Amino acid sequence: MQIKQIMIGIIPARYASTRFPGKLLADLNGKPVLQWTWEQACKVKSLDRVVIAAGDERIADAARGFGADVVDVFKDYASGSDRIAEAVNKLEADGERFDIVVNIQGDEPLLNPDDVDIAVTRLQRYKDAGVATLAAPITDEDEYRDPSVVKLVADEGGRALYFSRTPIPYLKDFETGLVFKHIGLYVYRRKVLANFTQWQPCKIEEIERLEQLRLLYYGVKVAVVVVEANGVGVDTEEDLERVKEFINGRSND
């Protein structure tokens, strides 16, 4: 008899942000950005539980206020992965057990629950992969050249070969359908997450400022699922306005 895997989605949430401080608590049509993300995450069918790993009392109070399951992780961590790993450790210290941990970015109010389910299924089916993540086609040359947009290349089996802020693969003349951007959602096997946070950062990770390169450096296979489109993340106040326009436009359809 096959034992059911227990899956948890964790949203690492801190108040500080270089470009938009307090963005997760910014008002988006009457609700904080974080609440929108949490509500979308709660629609993911494969998850047994959704938790917010709060890095600040303001975040924790707001999350509990809208009914979220919250774990206080107030220490200053180097990455969201470190924060979710500590949240899992706290939950497991209370006797819980998880087989798969999904890292959901808190600034994704337009998160597509179906995309998360697809990524989870991908990891379950590919037993040699330790992590699954998402990518979407790049259709705009400016986005392809933009170092804030992380690009990736994958092998024939859909496993990541490299992530970079530089335009990869190199195209002398930009053409759609050939390049992909990384969407920062990670589906971890529990053991891989534990190992990841114990490994020393590698040189390429530090150069590119991309923690996912640590996985490749230490030999973890990362399965990539290509989805048609992805929601707008809220990194700036301008992003917040774009999301508002999208939601209002969708409501008027």
For residues 199 and 118, membership in a common domain is answered with yes
At 170-198, the pLDDT tens digits run 999 999 889 999 998 999 999 999 999 99
CA torsion angle 210 215 219 221 (round to 10): -110
CATH number at residue 18: 3.90.550.10
For residues 203 and 217, membership in a common domain is answered with yes
- Whose CA is closest to 29, among 249, 231, 247? 247
Name the domain count of the chain. Answer: 2
Residue appearing with tokens 């379950």: 124
For residues 123 and 166, membership in a common domain is answered with yes
51 located within any domain:
yes
Model confidence at 1: pLDDT above 70: no
φ and ψ of 44, to 5 deg: -70, 115
**Has this prediction a pTM greater than 0.85?**
yes
For residues 100 and 125, membership in a common domain is answered with no
43 located within any domain:
yes
Q: Are 63 and 34 in contact (CB under 8 A)?
A: yes
pLDDT computed for residue 196 by the predictor: 95
Q: Are 199 and 109 in contact (CB under 8 A)?
A: no
Averaged pLDDT score across all residues of the chain: 92
Domain residue limits at 161: 112-231
250 located within any domain:
no
Separation of alpha carbons 169 and 178, rounded Å: 8
For 183, what's the count of Cα atoms within 13 Å in the CB-facing half-sphere? 30
